[in-house]
Amino acid sequence: MRKILVTGGAGMIGSNLIKRLIKQGDEIYVIDNLWRGKLEYLQDDRGNDIIPLKTHFYDRDLSISGQCDDLLSKVEYVIHLADIVAGIDYVFNNQGDIFRQNILINSNVIASARKYGKHLKGFLYVGTACSFPLTRQNSLEVIPLREEELYPAMPESAYGWSKLMGQYEVDLLGKETEIPTCTLMFHNVYGAPCDFGNRSQVIPALIRKAVNYPNEKFEVWGSGEQGRAFIHVNDIVEALVLALDKGWNHGPIQIGPSICTSIKEIAEMIVKISGKDISIFYDTTRPEGDKARSADFSKAKRILGWEPRVNLEKGIRLQYEWIEKQIKESK
């Protein structure tokens, strides 16, 4: 039985990961300030808590220093998922705050590990494909990204910069201590449970609009030609579990598919799943973000034995059913 601290553990990725680790017999401690996560995500299908919330869940703000100092003596591993992230509207309208908050969150958690975690068997950091240079993501002619292309650095967004700085500080932690480190760089993760409100990312936002249509306009931001490498949360959890065993001290490892799917294709897929006669409106006055990206996941395959397995349409169908159920139950 491993003892593991998961920051941001009440979110989509964290809650799914914890359920998997609990099944494997691990003891899990969670820090989450519930900005996007929810305590109900840490329950099973019958409404039972999957961890003892009174003793293993901590509602704390990691942008304040020292918030995980007391927990490091209790655990052997840290999986650092916590950050401030949301849909493109929120990200580009709050860049300064996102940058500052993520720098504080990452630096505080890493500083605590440096000071109180010398016994740790591993510190696993979650980065993002948004940290890759804009120059490699500003064309619709997609060549899968490779880890060695991270520098010279030129992320498009403050979010990408903040996550890259956290990744750099994790590298320093690994070089200057005996703590094994691992960085997984996630592409665009989707799945349930998830935030599908005004701060949500593209797939849940479009699903919400389809479920609510015609009472809510089915509006797609940008031309729809922009694309991303979408990866289901189940594939992400598999990567994290494999990394706990095999990912230490190999530098950054991308987790995402080699296929770039346009937002237009996603929108059309969601309309098909909805079974409704929906008119898609593309608002080209809205921001699109990076033009397109996909992952060369050969490093993940070589080191972790990982590759994406969840079919995109099947994964989106499952997420559609979950969001539709949430909306119906809330009425």
91 contacts 199 by C-beta, under 8 angstroms: no
> Which structural domain range is residue 74 located in?
3-192+229-259+293-310
pLDDT value of position 138 = 86
Which among 18, 3, 2, 7 is positioned nearest to 193, based on CA atoms? 18
Q: Is residue 27 part of a domain?
A: yes
Cα distances from 26 to residues 1, 100, 141, 174, 249, in angstroms, run: 5, 33, 44, 24, 22
Q: What is the total count of domains within the chain?
A: 1
Q: Is residue 330 part of a domain?
A: no
Q: Is residue 245 part of a domain?
A: yes
Q: Is residue 206 part of a domain?
A: no
Residues of the chain with pLDDT under 70: none
Which among 303, 242, 304, 316 is positioned nearest to 273, based on CA atoms? 316
Its pTM stands at 0.96
CATH value at residue 298: 3.40.50.720
Helix (H, G, I), strand (E, B) or coil at 267: helix
Q: What digits encode the pLDDT tens for the residues 61-105?
A: 999 999 999 999 999 999 999 999 988 888 889 999 999 999 999
**Six token digits for residue 119:** 């016994």
Q: Is residue 114 part of a domain?
A: yes
Helix (H, G, I), strand (E, B) or coil at 173: helix
Q: Is residue 95 part of a domain?
A: yes
Q: Is residue 14 part of a domain?
A: yes
